[in-house]
A and B are shown apart, each in its own frame.
Chain A
């Protein structure tokens, strides 16, 4: 199974900050990576797929990059609506696996 490791576990930031979340795969997954945002009590929301393709309707302050084993999700200017938990997911092979999540908190 491919293990996905996210860092940091928790991130404290202020509105307007640039935020970077890292996701590492235990083996190469090419660009087969998605990012999701989840707010408490809600279902996850797809943000990015194929490592860097922005899902329709997602604000352009979100961007993704990387390939192989190392990936990043960047929020260029954190907004109040962005405080949430973020997950990466690889879909290179089954079982599909998620990272452990990164919680973005208000500083």
Chain B
């Protein structure tokens, strides 16, 4: 069974940093491109970042470009999101999501999400 488990969320002050992790199991992690998608409280879904299978290609949504960095460790079956200079409008549940096929850019498996709250 495919499992994606996010961790690392929490309360952080504006300007602070957090590193989210997503532990993958039940599939060959190194064969799939991965994404981060977030959802602000009571709002819709927002894609924020993509990483290819060997990390050679990365994409970011403009609102996080220059502040967030996506990475992966295929040996550890893990996906990461380093978030710096956090703002209050980054408050959201952050999901890791697997591309259905490598480079397909739509998502067939999602984690349960981890809540990031940015507030003073």
Please state if A87 and B44 are interface contacts (CB–CB under 8 Å).
yes
Please state if A43 and B104 are interface contacts (CB–CB under 8 Å).
no
Chain A contacts of B50 at CB under 8 A?
94, 96
Q: With A95-B61, A96-B47 as given contacts, are A46 and B100 in contact (CB-CB < 8 Å)? A: yes
Please state if A44 and B110 are interface contacts (CB–CB under 8 Å).
yes
Chain A contacts of B44 at CB under 8 A?
87, 98-101
Partner of A46, one of B45, B62, B106: B106
Answer whether residue B1 sits at the interface, using C-beta atoms and an 8 A cutoff: no
Chain B contacts of A91 at CB under 8 A?
104-106
**Complex formed: what's the CA distance from A42 to B45 in Å?**
12
- B 34-72 binary contact with A (CB < 8 Å = 1; else 0): 010000000011110010000000010110000000000
- A 84-107 binary contact with B (CB < 8 Å = 1; else 0): 000101010011111111000000
Chain B contacts of A99 at CB under 8 A?
44
**Complex formed: what's the CA distance from A45 to B98 in Å?**
12
Answer whether residue B95 sits at the interface, using C-beta atoms and an 8 A cutoff: yes
Q: Which residue on B lies nearest to A95, using beta carbons?
A: B61
